[in-house]
Amino acid sequence: MDDALRPGSGLSSPRRWALFAGVYAFVCGAFVAVLLSDVLRVFVDVAGLPSGFPIPLFATPALVAGTLCWWRVVERRRAFGFRSGAAFGLVTALCTGGLWTAWFAVRWGPEMLAAGPVLLIVGLTLAFAAVAGVFVGVPLAYVRRRIGVESAAATANSL
């Protein structure tokens, strides 16, 4: 049998899935950050981050937000459907984008968000992140539904 699924093996399966979802959100965010590295270099300068700031670190908030959102939206409610996966991705992307928007507002002041095209740029960025998050969350929900539920059922039957 699979030792990782035993009840006494440490983290419960839902907690493992939540941690996995956080890592998955981070990896997806880091991949997108690398693809958009030219644009994000401008944000590094504007946000006052060190010039040697690695672009994949932009996805770091997704690690925490992804774990918490997956736990709250999917595992806690035991909702393993595609809508829950899409909601997970949406909320994770908005939390991550919201954190970086808050960082910008703290650095430059909230009035800078309303200056010129900044609000439009922030809004478009959050909108694109939200759409990407929805598309990122659905495959994870599929995997959870196919693998996780079957594994849990097999463990319950073997006990």
- Token code pair at residue 8: 């006494």
Q: CA 147 to CA 152: how far, in whole Å?
A: 9
Give residue 25's domain range. Answer: 3-158
In the structure encoding, which two tokens stand for residue 33, read together? Answer: 């950050």
Task: Tell me what pLDDT residue 36 has.
Answer: 85
Q: What's the structural domain count of the chain?
A: 1
> DSSP letter string over 99-134?
HHHHHHHHHH-GGGGGSTTHHHHHHHHHHHHHHHHH
Spatial separation of the C-alpha atoms in residues 149 and 145, rounded to whole Å: 6
- Contact predicate 106/84, CB 8 Å: no
> In the prediction, which pLDDT does 11 show?
58
Are 70 and 95 in contact by the 8 Å Cβ rule? The answer is: no
Whole-model pTM above 0.85? no
User: Average pLDDT per run of 10 along the chain, which is 159 residues long?
Assistant: 47 87 95 87 82 87 96 92 95 94 89 84 88 94 81 51
Per-residue confidence (pLDDT) for residue 4, from 0 to 100:
46
